[in-house]
Amino acid sequence: MEIITARKKMNASDIKMFNAHMHLIAMPPSWLYKTPTFNNDIDYALTDEDRAIAELDAYTRSGGESALDATCRDYGRNPEAIEKIVKRSNVNLILVTGFNRGIYLDSSYYEKNVNELSELWSEEVEKGIENTSLRAGVIKVGMDYMHIMPVEKKCIMAAFEAHKKTRAPIAVHTTVGTMASEFLDLAEKNGIDPGAIIFFHADRNMDSFYWKSVTERGAFITIDQIGKINYGTESSRAKFIEDLITSGFENKILLGTDFARRSNFEAYGYGPGLGYLFEKFVPFLSSFLATDGIQKETVLKIVNENPRGAFSLK
Ligand SMILES: [Zn+2]
């Protein structure tokens, strides 16, 4: 099994201590930043390379070794900055191509057809991202709350084509953890194996019955709001994870910290920052599960082995 990281192709077995959702440099494009959703709020401007490095250093000190940076072009991906960060840090980063959400898309996504989008995204996996040495290892797509916008549907079809060409897995932004079943229906109808699909933000909708029906079909799910107590307590996340483990889906779970605001990071003077996952949450989860007889090894398997299955070329 092979995984395409920012720098090079790696054996999947060399990937470990993994955070399945982070953002290092991100900034909504100016037309979007002005809209009421963002209201020019400086909190959304993750622009500082030195602070990103400081966060990655904290991540390394906590035991983290590899991670997915889930920032797409439509949410202000900055390949030049990421290239410098990749040179300065030892963390093995996987980068994404594709798009985040329909509401973030500029006119170019409306103008391009399925073929053109698919070629653009395949090129970022196979050759490189916007004249840098970086490569994308994952094709990201997204859906709106409780429905799929027509422009999202078109881009999803392009992502399916790019996946068939490159074998890179498909990661899916869900809004409030909805539409995963419908996405799998669409994927299966188009000949895509659910084992190549990873859903983000499952813990925005901590309905274990719902997510079991998704993992049962073979897809991976990411519990990535860890450290964001405004979206749910850590105990509720631990209980959600326990439900999935006891139902036999421990190999389908990924963990991440989807921090995308200055106020999530220590390096910007707030917290909890990228050290949190391995320093605080993983020990907490291990002791939570231990009270019900689930071994610490299961948690280690989730952060070490599951990403290899999820993010390898299919
Ligand atoms: Zn994110």
Asked whether 264 and 21 are in contact (CB, 8 A), the reply is no
- 225 CA distance to ligand 1 centroid (A)? 9
CA of 201 to the centre of ligand 1 (A): 8
pLDDT of residue 52: 98
Q: How far is the CA of 260 from the centre of ligand 1 (A)?
A: 6
* Ligand 1 centroid distance, CA of 128 (Å): 22
Output the pLDDT for position 48: 98
Whole-number Å distance, alpha carbon 292 to ligand 1 midpoint, is 31
Tens of pLDDT, residue by residue over 278-298, are 999 999 999 999 999 999 999
pLDDT at 119: 98
**For residue 76, how far is its CA from the centre of ligand 1 (angstroms)?**
12
Tokens of 122: 């395949």
Q: What is the CATH number of domain 2-311?
A: 3.20.20.140
Distance 157 CA to ligand 1 centre (A): 21
This prediction has a pTM of: 0.98
- From the CA of 71, how far away is ligand 1's center (Å)? 7
Q: How far is the CA of 31 from the centre of ligand 1 (A)?
A: 20
- pLDDT for 261: 98
Distance 107 CA to ligand 1 centre (A): 22
CA of 245 to the centre of ligand 1 (A): 24
pLDDT of the residue at 294? 98
Per-residue HEC secondary structure of the chain comes to CEEECCCCEEEHHHCCCEEEEECCCECCCHHHHCCCCCCCCHHHCECCHHHHHHHHHHHHHCCCCEEEECCCHHHCCCHHHHHHHHHHCCCEEEEEEECCCHHHCCHHHHHCCHHHHHHHHHHHHHCCCCCCCCCEEEEEEECECCECCHHHHHHHHHHHHHHHHHCCCEEEECHHHCCHHHHHHHHHHCCCCHHHEEECCHHHCCCHHHHHHHHCCCCEEEECECCCHHHCCHHHHHHHHHHHHHCCCHHHEEECECCCCHHHCHHHCCCCCCCHHHHHHHHHHHHHHHCCCCCHHHHHHHHHCHHHHHHCCC
Distance, in Å, from the CA atom of 89 to the CA atom of 204, rounded to the nearest integer, reads 31
Domain boundaries of the chain, sorted by first residue: 2-311
> pLDDT 10s digit of each residue in the chain, 314 long?
999 999 989 999 999 999 999 999 999 999 999 999 999 999 999 999 999 999 999 999 999 999 999 999 999 999 999 999 999 999 999 999 999 999 999 999 999 999 999 999 999 999 999 999 999 999 999 999 999 999 999 999 999 999 999 999 999 999 999 999 999 999 999 999 999 999 999 999 999 999 999 999 999 999 999 999 999 999 999 999 999 999 999 999 999 999 999 999 999 999 999 999 999 999 999 999 999 999 999 999 999 999 999 999 99
Interior CA angle at 51 toward 46 and 52, to 5°?
70
